[in-house]
Amino acid sequence: MMIMAGSWALNLFDRLHIGHHVLLDRLCDMRNPIACITDGELLGSDIEYESLIQPIDLRKKNLRKYLDSCVTTKHVDIEVITSYDELLRIKGTTTFLMFEGPCCTEIQEHALDVREQLSFVRDEVYLLKPVMAADGDKMSSARIRKGELDRKGRKLRGTSEVPRKLPDEMRSDLKVPKGQIFAVEDGPPEERVAANLHDLEPSIVVAVGDVTSETVTAAGYTPDVCIVDGITRRGNYDLTLDGDIEYTIYNPAATVYPEAWSVIDTAIHDKKKSLVFVEGEEDLMGFPAVLLAPEGAVMLYGQPDVGIIWVSVNDDNAKAARNFINHMPIIN
């Protein structure tokens, strides 16, 4: 397969963040721009939380969405490169755009320098300085995966929690409501929930799920934190919620990742109406919410065909949540 020359921005493009935006904006000003997702042996050595990197299809989707939103007359192609050999097969002089760093050095040594030796091409290589986050250290997908930063470079509260995955034998536990039920059969549950919240005035209210978050808000009570994923049991959900501050996390189905812990912790304590959008699923996000929220807080979640479940944050419920989390195997 012939791979055409042009201007190539080489990057992992995991958790598309403000640093990537700088790289892509620069790329859009170059000739024949190609945004190249690196994977496979181009990931580099000793990459932190490598198993938590987003799948290629999601990285391509997020790249396309951002590129289509840019004000540019140029179309930017997206390619995926997983081996040094593929870089060697690019025909003709090529411009490579990368951030300075260990991965960039490895790509240069294993492919770009070799291209010049074998093909006598004189590629141009532009190395960009890393983009700095709000804490003064450089932006990186690894720091987002660890829960140190969000995608806009904002400092998060951090976490010591490890990534975990729910085994099949524990899934049935989720079908049993874990709190007070506001049943559908008694009328719109969101109206009774909203009235209860106004009466009791809990310190923090976290709503998990699109329908729960939106219906409780429409009923007159805006939770402090809404955690949504744009999906319901019936398919995609056209969400109309927004927040004073918004976060995006990657958390696949049946997992709880460090960035979820850190963002939820930050959202609970940021003293704003926060919206947390999950790329993946929010089904397990109630467990971190119960463990991170202060005593006296409330976590709400929806149970299909049942209603809204009200979980008070107290010692008993926190112990139950911790026991559940601790029985989820760690993702190595």
Predicted confidence at residue 234, as pLDDT, reads 57
Q: Which residues contact 61 (CB under 8 A, 6 or more apart)?
A: none
Q: Which residues contact 25 (CB under 8 A, 6 or more apart)?
A: 70
Strand pairing of 7-11 and 307-312?
Answer: unpaired
> Residue 327 has which token pair?
């029985």
Q: Judge contact between 15 and 54, C-beta under 8 A.
A: yes
Residue among 36, 34, 38 nearest 6 (CA)? 34
Phi-psi region of 46 (alpha: psi -120 to 50; beta: other; left: phi over 0): left
Ordered by where they begin, the domains of the chain are 3-146 (3.40.50.620), 164-326 (no CATH)
Phi-psi region of 307 (alpha: psi -120 to 50; beta: other; left: phi over 0): left
Neighbours of 2 (CB within 10 A): 7
Neighbours of 332 (CB within 10 A): 6
* pTM: predicted TM-score of the whole model, two decimal places: 0.94
Taking the alpha carbons of 68, 72, 77, 78 in that order, is the dihedral positive or negative?
A: negative
Strand positions, DSSP E, 12-103? 33-38, 77-81, 90-91, 95-99
Neighbours of 269 (CB within 10 A): 16
Q: Judge contact between 321 and 164, C-beta under 8 A.
A: no
Residue 259, strand partner residues: none
Q: Judge contact between 64 and 35, C-beta under 8 A.
A: no
Distance between CA atoms of residues 176 and 324, nearest Å: 13
Residue 208, strand partner residues: 227, 301
Predicted confidence at residue 240, as pLDDT, reads 76
Distance between CA atoms of residues 139 and 160, nearest Å: 20
> Residue 125 has which token pair?
């290589």
pLDDT by position in tens, the chain (length 332):
557 778 999 999 999 999 999 999 999 999 999 999 999 999 877 788 999 999 999 999 999 999 998 866 678 999 999 999 999 888 888 999 999 987 788 888 888 888 888 777 788 999 999 999 999 999 999 999 999 999 999 999 999 999 999 999 998 888 777 899 999 999 999 999 999 999 999 999 999 999 999 999 999 999 999 999 987 665 566 677 889 999 999 999 999 999 999 999 999 999 999 999 999 999 999 999 999 999 999 999 999 889 999 999 999 999 999 999 999 999 98
Distance between CA atoms of residues 226 and 208, nearest Å: 6
